[in-house]
Amino acid sequence: MLSLKNISKHYNVGGNKTFVLNKIDLDVDAGEFISIMGPSGSGKSTLLNIIGLLDEPSEGYHYFLGEAIHNLKEKQRSALYKSNIGFVFQAYHLIDELTVYENIETPLIYQDVKSSERKALVADILDRFQIVGKKDLFPAQLSGGQQQLVGIARALITKPKLLLADEPTGNLNSKQGEDIMELFRKLNKEDGVTIIQVTHSEKNAEFGSRIINLLDGKIDSSRNI
């Protein structure tokens, strides 16, 4: 479903080109659950952002669902992104001014989904994540684990084919982390969502079907589980 060819990303720091990603080749099939690991600063987040169309590579070719991303205009890219990709962050990144319900609803609004349909979809996912009771609370009134649950619910509300998660459990305790990972596995197995996650935890990485190790912007190793 996704293919990176020769992808590099570099910054100019003090006149020197420093490579954050260096000639990455990566193919991901639909239905995979990939864990990306590697030391801090190795370029994991950068890679994930490029895959998620939030960032652009300096060089290389990027194909997603058969489209050559590097040839697309901003508008087409945005349309492709909206309907196919969901993002989950370590720092949750919920909007403080919006309630749980509204946070989850927002992506649907941006997709021009009708109000009645939105209601049904949000009610459904609240129910599935068992956070119906929290729907009128604001992010500040939730625990970290609950906030991340809302973050995942929000990422999934548009039924994306690809879920990207940057250290989704980084701010959670191990029990909460495990719950999230269970949820990911279930999504992957039962709903067929392709998942790419960045994680520092060996144990959480094991939930995936493939583990990729990044080192200094290069793929150091890749093994299937």
Partner 1 sequence: MIKTYFKTAWRYLLNNKTTTLISIAGLAVGICCFLLLTTYLLNELRYDRFYPNADRIVRVGNNYKTINDNQETNSAVTPTAVVPVFKRQIAGIEDGVRIYNYSGYKPVTVQYKDDLFNEKKVLLADDSFFKIFGFKFLAGNAASALSTPGSLVLTASTAKKYFGNDNPVGKILKVNQTNNMMVTGVIEDVPAYSQIKFDMLGSYSMLDRSKVLKWDSGNDYSYFLLKPGAAATSVQQKMNLYLTDVLKSQQKPGRHAWFTLEKLTDVHLHSSLSNGLEPSGNIKYIYILSFVAVILLVLACINFLNLVTARAAERAHEIGVRKVMGAQRKQLFIQFITEAGLITLASLLIGLALAYLAFPAFSNFAGSQLGLSTWRFTWLAPLLSGLFITVTLLTGAYPALYLSAFKPVTNMKGHGSSKNGNLRKGLVVLQFVVSVFFIICTLIVGHQLRYIQSMDTGINRSQVLVMDIGGMPFNKIETFKNAISTQPGIKSTTASYDSPVQIKGGYTITQAEGKSPDYSLSITGIPVERGFVNTLGIKLLQGSDYTPADEKQVMTDTFANRKYSFIINETAARALGWKPEQAIGKRIGVNGRIGKVKAVTRDFNFASLHKSITPVVLFAEYDWFSKLLIKTSAGNLQNTLTGIKQTWKSFYPNTPFEAHFLDQEFDEMYQNEQRTGGILNIFTAVTVFISCLGLFGLAIFTTKQRFKEVSIRKVLGASVSNIVALVSSDFLKLVFTAIIIASPLAWYAMNRWLQDFAYRITLSWWIFVLSAVLTVLLAFITVSYQTLRAALINPVKGLRSE
Ligand X SMILES: Nc1ncnc2c1ncn2[C@@H]1O[C@H](COP(=O)(O)OP(=O)(O)OP(=O)(O)O)[C@@H](O)[C@H]1O
Binding positions for ligand X, rule: CB under 6 A: 11, 13, 20, 38, 40-46
With CB under 8 A, what is the number of residues at the site for partner 1? 24
Rg, Å, the chain Cα set: 18
For the bound state, the minimum distance from the C-beta of residue 44 to ligand X, rounded and expressed in Å, comes to 4
- Nearest Cα to Cα of residue 163 among 207, 197, 126: 197
Residues of this chain, 44-63, that bind Mg ion according to CB under 5 A: 45
Closest Cα partner for 172 from 203, 144, 150?
144
Region binding partner 1 by CB under 8 A among candidate stretches 96-104, 181-189, 194-202, 207-215: 96-104
Of the candidate spans 47-55, 182-190, 197-205, 215-223, the one that interacts with partner 1 by CB under 8 A turns out to be 47-55
Partner in contact with 6, chosen from ligand X, partner 1, Mg ion, none, beta carbon below 5 to 8 Å by kind = none
State which residue, 45 or 147, has the beta carbon closest to Mg ion: 45
Please choose which of ligand X, partner 1, Mg ion, none residue 41 contacts, taking the beta carbon within 5 to 8 angstroms, the exact cut-off set by kind: ligand X
Q: Are 105 and 136 in contact (CB under 8 A)?
A: no
CB of 42 to ligand X, least distance (A): 4
> Which residue has 């290069």 as its token pair?
218
The Cα-based distances of 154 to 39, 160, 185 in angstroms read: 29, 11, 17
Counting contacts by CB under 8 A, is residue 120 touching partner 1? no
Burial 82-115 (b: 16+ CB within 10 A, else e): eebbbbbbbebebeeeebbbbbbbbbbeeeebee
The H or E element spanning position 181 is: helix 174-186
* Tokens describing residue 5: 């060819």
- Tell me the H-state helices in 6-165: 44-51, 74-84, 100-110, 115-128, 144-156
Partner that binds at residue 13, options Mg ion, ligand X, partner 1, none, CB closer than 5 to 8 Å by kind:
ligand X
For residues 26, 75, 12 and 196, what is the CA-based torsion angle, rounded to 10 degrees?
-30
- Between 17 and 46, how does the x/- string for binding to Mg ion read (CB under 5 A)? ----------------------------x-
Among 14-22, 77-85, 183-191, 217-225, which window interacts with partner 1 (CB under 8 A)? 77-85
Quick one: what does residue 11 bind among Mg ion, partner 1, ligand X, none, with the CB cut-off 5 to 8 Å set by partner type? ligand X
158 is a site residue for partner 1 (CB under 8 A):
yes
- Does 93 interact with partner 1 (rule: CB under 8 A)? yes
Q: Does 54 bind partner 1 (CB under 8 A)?
A: yes
Chain contacts with Mg ion (rule: CB under 5 A) = 45
